Structure 1
């Protein structure tokens, strides 16, 4: 086990989470200050999701041409340049293009970083070390807005701080080995269809968690306000969900190294189903606080366990391709989840966000009960 390389790759990926956490809220705040409306800000926020889909299709090809370490360094530096240009170029159309480039470049970093970590870790530590990766990344994103609060939003310090992080991060990857070997091939949406057919449980779980994360950050505060809570309590509820997601991944990962990962996966799906159904009925009682924690932890556990299950069955080029499909599913979930929940909240029920999560969790529980659910189907 190459511990130095593991922590170097982890540090590089964490720099991305911190840089995004600092720079992305600053973009929205700057647009609001310039008088742009909610739709324009929403379109800007959607550009990285489109970048995810494009970056996922290019990751394997870029890694095949340059090698995984060099490809990660190039994309980190590309992300640094793109964020730096946000501070220099004050044009909405140019910002759209830069946000798209940021999404593409940093998606490649995520795909190759997750693949490198999963290739490195030994099987008996896989659950804990993959969980440490997921938990650390979530906490780095949480720390981003806190750092922005210290730097302030009236100038461009946030953009320059993020740029500096991404300029320095590639240096820790120099001379590191143990990366997956991959071929220079693109990953298409048809390839994604094949992945979903082979591993429908994992594919469903990844898309569900992506929708969960996008909805928690965008729609949950609004839901809590509509249910009569103050803005302060609403934000505290969102923070409780996020902390449950981030902190409890470590014990879930530790359990994954000691008990059946398939049973633990099913338990997380059941917990997400139960908590999603219970929250609307217990929303105005003290019991809702542990439910928020369970809600976040069970959703995050599904993603962590999906990465663990992918890592235990794929190596090298197949591993990079599988993580590219994870990114594709992530982009799809981030796009569709808020759209479905927003439409449902307006036209069906004020509790549509939680009903949608419950429906997704119920579908996942059903998939886990099928024979051979966690074994790849023939290609």
Structure 2
């Protein structure tokens, strides 16, 4: 196994997590300061979702033309440009366009990076190494809000840190090998439908986690502010959720190499349901802090287990296309989650974000009761 390449690809993807973690909450705080309501902030949070759908469609075709490593470098630099323009051009309509572009290029990075990692790892270590990726990515997002808290939200330093990360990280990929071989094709919504029918629980879990992550970085800080917490406490609560996502992924990955992955999947779904129900009841008690950890861990576990299950089933172009479908589902989750939660928070209930997670977790549990919810053992094509 190419360990140096694994860690180089891992570091490149982690730079994206840190850049997003330090810049996305800053965007929400700026909009809140400009007087925009939760729905407008939710619209902003959903814009990268359209970019995700576009990036998923283009990833395989562009990777066949430029090569996996070359395309990842170009997209990372494109992400740096988009974040830099957020700082230079503070305008709501323009920010919508920039967030669209950011979603497109960074989606391609995620598709190719996750495919590259899953292609490199050996089967007996798959659970732990894929979980290490998920854990480190979550930690990079944790560091983002913490770093933003240190830098302050009154300046543009958070944006410029993101720019610097995305300018430097592509250099790590120079000379690396072992990437999946791709064909010049694009995935369609029809292909996505077949993927969802074949792996319905995985498809649902990916979309649910995408909605979770988009809302945690954008709407959860606003939710905490509106529940009476200070800005520092709101950022600390977001960071605690991400801690939960990060710290338990490695144990989940280790268990996935030894125990039934279906049972672990179901356990994470049940934990997400119960924690989402409990948060409004315990929000102003000391118990909220461990509850935030469980909330993040259970949601992150669903995504880590989804990647593990996909990685054991596909190789090369099929693996890239499977991860492109993951990206499409991610886009759908990022689009629907913030829009529904933002609208619900403004016009229905201040706890709409959590009720949406309750509904999503319950739907996943119902799916897991069906035979074939996680697909056949080893499908050969997407």
**CA gap 1:139/1:244 in 2 versus in 1, 3 angstroms:** same
Counterpart check, 1:135 vs 2:135: yes
Give the deviation of 1:316 after TM superposition: 0.7
Q: Structure 1: which 5+ runs fail to align? A: none
SS of the counterpart of 1:187? Answer: coil
Deviation track 1:91-111 (CA, whole Å, cap 9, x = no partner) reads: 655444333222211110011
Inter-partner Cα distance in structure 1 for 2:210 and 2:197: 19
Q: What SS does structure 1 have at the residue aligned with 2:312?
A: helix
Residue equivalent to 1:328: 328
Report the equivalent of 1:215. Answer: 215
Correspondence 1:247-326 to 2 at 5 A: 247-326=247-326
- 2:77 matched residue in structure 1: 77
TM-score (ref. length: structure 2): 0.88
TM superposition shift of 1:146:
3.4
Distance of 1:93 and 1:344 partners within structure 2: 23
1:105–1:190: structure 2 CA closer, same or farther, 3 Å change rule? same
Counterpart residue number, 1:366: 366
Which ranges in structure 2 are unaligned for 5 or more consecutive residues? none
Structure 1 residue 149, shift from structure 2 partner? 4.6
Q: How does 1:177-192 map to 2 (within 5 A)?
A: 177-192=177-192
C-alpha separation between the residues in 1 aligned to 2:212 and 2:198?
23
Instruction: Mark the CA change 1:148 to 1:319 in structure 2 (over 3 Å): closer, same or farther.
Output: same
Partner of 1:205: 205
Moved more, 165-174 or 315-324: 165-174
Deviations 1:144-170 (A, max 9, x none): 243345555565544443333222211
- RMSD value, Cα: 2.8
1:57 is matched with 57
How big is the shift at 1:343? Answer: 4.0
TM-score (normalizing by structure 1): 0.89
The equivalent of 2:242 in structure 1 is 242
Deviation of the 1:127 alpha carbon:
1.1
CA deviations 1:314-336 (Å, max 9, x no partner) are 11111111111111111111221
Report the secondary structure of 1:176's partner residue.
coil
Structure 1 residues 356 and 375, CA gap change in structure 2 (3 angstroms): same
For 1:226 and 1:154, locate their aligned partners in 2 and report how far apart those are by CA, in whole Å. Answer: 19
Matched, 1:109 2:98: no
1:124 aligned onto 2:146: no
Shift of 1:114: 0.5
* Contact in 1 for aligned 2:146/2:235 (Cα 8 Å): no
Distance 1:235 1:117 in 2: 31
Q: CA deviation at 1:44?
A: 3.9
Are residue 146 (structure 1) and residue 146 (structure 2) matched? yes
Q: 1:90: Cα distance to partner?
A: 5.7
Q: How many residues align?
A: 378
Q: Secondary structure at the match of 2:181?
A: coil
Aligned CA distance change for structure 1 residues 215 and 363 (closer, same or farther; 3 Å): same
CA distance in 2, matches of 1:77, 1:257: 36
**Cα gap change, 1:233 to 1:20, in 2 (>3 Å):** closer
